């Protein structure tokens, strides 16, 4: 599951707050299961946010990012366009979601 | 380890009774407080934030499943439980209830699985699966803020008594009853934590310790492990009974699910 | 000071190991391995990222709760003083730990389109520590700030 918080509309030049959360265990690779076996690392490595096709914010994650990664950041509204939020895990699997920002 | 054992000994000494059961103590009704009260302000803020509260990842999942027609073409949950027809708003505050068909006590999880079998011809969902937690969280979220009140009359009475029995029964290597922490010593410090009153009104909840979302029965299993007693099975009749006893004991407290706990 | 921390951690691990074997429940802890970063590892991570360029104190504000009741999820906010204009902006923000198994927690790349260098996330903290955040500006200068949290121990260790 992915949760996105982004305004639907903004005025040109306005700075908007964006929030994104994705369900993911961010398994550190340091924990052991009930049989004493190490649980393999399984983490999201990259977060990327593009606005009108341009990268506006990127994050590289290490095991120190908490489970179900949560981020807030900002963007300057310029024109009506899609904002895309995407996450890529260490195996290359990618999840994404889009929101349309209408700028007046 | 030594410190924990010392604590256990201290707590058993405080119990003032050497028998199988702890003293039948009670929290005065006016003193009943949600576990929320004992959290750090940042954890409270996380629960109160309807976006950042990670429990909503499961509520969202549950809402999607609730409205989705299963692959088999069976009716969706929403086909029976619409806003104007058998609405589910508030009902979770009155669970667990007696199931008229089987004469057994059932919580929300058991009700969801019974619905699947009886009305949707679907296999029951596994305990602690994202799907069952999600549906439970969604239904519980429809009762957010509703004061807990449960019926313990008639056949439910036996379950209530069994749950109460378990609550006061001293068990495990630490020989502790639930009541010795949560009735007799709530509000006091146990290492870095403040002992809560042990209410279930936030569950299913996101626990930072789990780094995920889980059921009340998972929490009860952790309590039992914590006192070095053998955890019971998910959905066991005893945990159902404890759930009913806890609900009656917390009567009047507002439902908080999806809660956030440490 | 750091030696003290490490010693404390080892004792805790031993205690956890005993408890886990007696209780026969899942051993689930971020603290499980013995290898932890030290402040020197955090310095090394900074050197790998930025070489020996000087790091100025200031312009970076780190917001952390005074007490975290669980180190698995601690809210952290970072604000960097910058006009975030086309020619004067924050390029990168790096969050570092002197005590987690891996010193680097996250790296964020920003640009003038971010409008404001103000971010937040939730991190894991393997015990009480002071996080260090380094910001790289578009002119290549480095600025840093710190934030501390006491991570308390839970009452009931489950596994």
Q: Check whether B14 is labelled as a binding-site residue.
A: no
Q: What's the mean pLDDT in B111-138?
A: 97
Residue B101 domain boundaries: 56-141
| CATH number of the domain enclosing B232 | 1.10.760.10
From B200, B181, B201, select the one nearest B191 (Cα to Cα): B181
- Cβ-based contacts of A67 with chain C (< 8 Å): 72-73
pLDDT at C11: 42
User: What total of structural domains would you count in chain C?
Assistant: 2
State yes or no: pLDDT of B86 exceeds 50: yes
Residues of chain C with pLDDT under 70: 1-35, 155, 157-159
Q: What's the mean pLDDT in B46-62?
A: 98
Domain end point (choices B141, B176, B203) = B141
Residue in this structure with the two tokens 């103590």, named with its chain if needed: B25
Could you say which architecture CATH assigns to the domain A2-103?
A: Sandwich (2.60)
pLDDT at C22: 39
Q: Check whether B178 is labelled as a binding-site residue.
A: yes
Q: Is A90 helix (H, G, I), strand (E, B) or coil?
A: coil
Residues B99 and B20 in one domain: no
Residues C77 and C16 in one domain: no
DSSP states along chain C: -HHHHHHHHHHHHHHHHHHHHHHT-----TT-SS----HHHHHHHHHHHHTT--EEE-SEEEE--SEES-TTSEEEEEEE----BTTB-EEEEEEE-SSSSSSEEEEEEE-GGG-S-EEEEEE--SSSEEEEEEEEETTS-EEEEEEEEEEPPPSS---
Residues C65 and C89 in one domain: yes
pLDDT single digits (tens) A52-102: 999 999 999 999 999 999 999 999 999 999 999 999 999 999 999 999 999
Q: Check whether B182 is labelled as a binding-site residue.
A: yes
> Do residue B61 and residue A70 have CB atoms under 8 angstroms apart?
no
B8 part of a folded domain:
no
Q: For residue B4, give both structure tokens.
A: 């924990």
Confidence class for position B230, pLDDT limits 50, 70, 90: very high
pLDDT at C157: 64
Predicted complex ipTM: 0.96
Q: What's the mean pLDDT in B30-56?
A: 97
Chains linked to A by 3 or more Cβ pairs within 8 Å: B, C
State yes or no: pLDDT of A103 exceeds 50: yes
C158 part of a folded domain:
no
pLDDT single digits (tens) A6-64: 999 999 999 999 999 999 999 999 999 889 999 999 999 999 999 999 999 999 999 99
State yes or no: pLDDT of B113 exceeds 90: yes
pLDDT at C41: 87
Domain end point (choices B102, B121, B141) = B141
- Cβ-based contacts of A75 with chain C (< 8 Å): 113-115
Residues C71 and C134 in one domain: yes
C79 part of a folded domain:
yes
Residues C106 and C54 in one domain: yes
Chains linked to C by 3 or more Cβ pairs within 8 Å: A, B
């Amino acid at each position: 599951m992915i949760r996105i918080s982004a305004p639907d509309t903004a005025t040109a030049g306005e700075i908007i707050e964006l929030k994104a959360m994705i369900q993911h265990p961010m398994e550190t690779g340091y924990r052991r299961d009930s049989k004493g076996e190490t649980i393999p690392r399984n983490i999201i490595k990259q977060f990327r946010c593009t606005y009108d096709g341009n990268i506006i914010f990127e994050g590289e994650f290490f095991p120190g990012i908490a489970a179900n990664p949560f981020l807030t950041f900002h963007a300057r509204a310029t024109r009506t366009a899609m904002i895309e939020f995407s996450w890529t895990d260490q195996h290359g699997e990618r999840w994404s979601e889009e929101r349309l920002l209408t700028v007046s | 380890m030594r410190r924990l054992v010392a604590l256990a000994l201290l707590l058993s000494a405080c119990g003032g009774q050497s028998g199988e059961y702890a003293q039948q103590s009670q929290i005065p009704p006016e003193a009943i407080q949600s576990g929320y009260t004992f959290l750090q302000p940042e954890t409270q803020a996380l629960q109160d934030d309807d976006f950042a509260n990670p429990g909503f990842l499961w509520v969202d999942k549950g809402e999607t499943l609730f409205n989705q027609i299963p692959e088999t073409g069976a009716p969706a949950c929403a086909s029976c439980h619409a806003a104007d027809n058998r609405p589910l708003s508030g009902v979770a505050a009155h669970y667990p209830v007696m199931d008229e068909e089987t004469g057994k006590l059932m919580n929300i999880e058991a009700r969801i699985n019974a619905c699947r079998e009886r009305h949707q011809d679907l296999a029951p969902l596994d305990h602690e699966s994202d799907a069952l937690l999600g549906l439970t969280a969604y239904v519980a979220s429809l009762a957010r803020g509703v004061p807990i009140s449960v019926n313990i009359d008639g056949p439910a009475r036996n379950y209530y008594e069994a749950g109460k029995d378990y609550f006061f029964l001293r068990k495990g290597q630490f020989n502790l009853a639930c009541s010795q922490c949560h009735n007799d010593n709530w509000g006091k410090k146990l290492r870095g934590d403040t002992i809560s009153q042990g209410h279930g009104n936030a569950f299913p909840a996101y626990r930072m310790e789990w780094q995920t979302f889980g059921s009340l029965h998972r929490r009860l299993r952790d309590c039992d492990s914590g006192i070095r007693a053998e955890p019971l099975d998910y959905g066991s009749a005893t945990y159902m009974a404890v759930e009913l006893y806890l609900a009656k004991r917390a009567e009047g407290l507002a439902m908080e699910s999806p809660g956030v706990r440490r | 000071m750091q030696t003290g921390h490490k010693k404390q951690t080892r004792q805790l691990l031993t205690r956890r190991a005993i408890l886990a074997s007696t209780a026969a429940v899942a051993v689930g802890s971020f603290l499980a391995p013995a290898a932890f970063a030290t402040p020197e590892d955090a310095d090394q991570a900074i050197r790998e990222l930025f070489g020996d360029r000087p790091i100025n104190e200031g312009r970076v504000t780190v917001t952390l709760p005074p007490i975290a009741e669980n180190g698995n999820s601690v809210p952290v906010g970072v604000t960097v003083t910058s006009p975030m204009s086309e020619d004067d902006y924050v390029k990168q923000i790096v969050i570092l730990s002197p005590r987690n198994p891996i010193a680097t927690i996250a790296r964020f790349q920003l640009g003038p389109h971010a409008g404001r260098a103000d971010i937040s996330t939730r991190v894991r903290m393997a015990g009480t520590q002071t996080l260090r955040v380094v910001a790289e500006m578009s002119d290549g200068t480095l600025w840093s700030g710190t934030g501390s949290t006491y991570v308390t121990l839970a009452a009931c260790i489950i596994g």
